Amino acid sequence: MLNPRFDTERDEIVEYDHIHLGLAVQGRCGLVVPAVLNARALTTDDLDAAVRDVTGRAREGRSIREELAAGTFTLNNYGGFVRLVADAIESPSSLLRRI
């Protein structure tokens, strides 16, 4: 399973049938995770354009509410941070998959 969540009401792991690709972005007011909605349905060129749009607006503090609450799978980049171990913060209903 690549895109699962834990359903606390049903007490089971379920897999989303869509991918809203969350992207960790350092914005004006701190770290935000806007999502490219329905990323699975996009071509490579369309995904590139959507990532640039979503991250650009996030850096400027112009993300829309739906993007900030929709991520089902999150990518981040630790960039210049030199660490041997990195921890992610995930919402309670999501599962963390480390590759």
Domain span at 59: 19-75
Is 52 within a domain?
yes
Is 83 within a domain?
no
Is 80 within a domain?
no
Nearest to 71 by CA among 88, 46, 49: 88
Phi, psi (deg, nearest 5) at residue 92: -55, -30
Is 1 within a domain?
no
Q: Are 2 and 54 in contact (CB under 8 A)?
A: no
Both structure tokens of 37: 């909605």
Nearest to 21 by CA among 71, 88, 65: 71
DSSP assignment letter at 26: E
Is 85 within a domain?
no
- In the chain, the number of structural domains is 1
Enter the pTM of the model: 0.70
Q: Indicate the pLDDT class of residue 74, thresholds 50, 70 and 90.
A: confident
The predicted structure's pLDDT at residue 1: 65
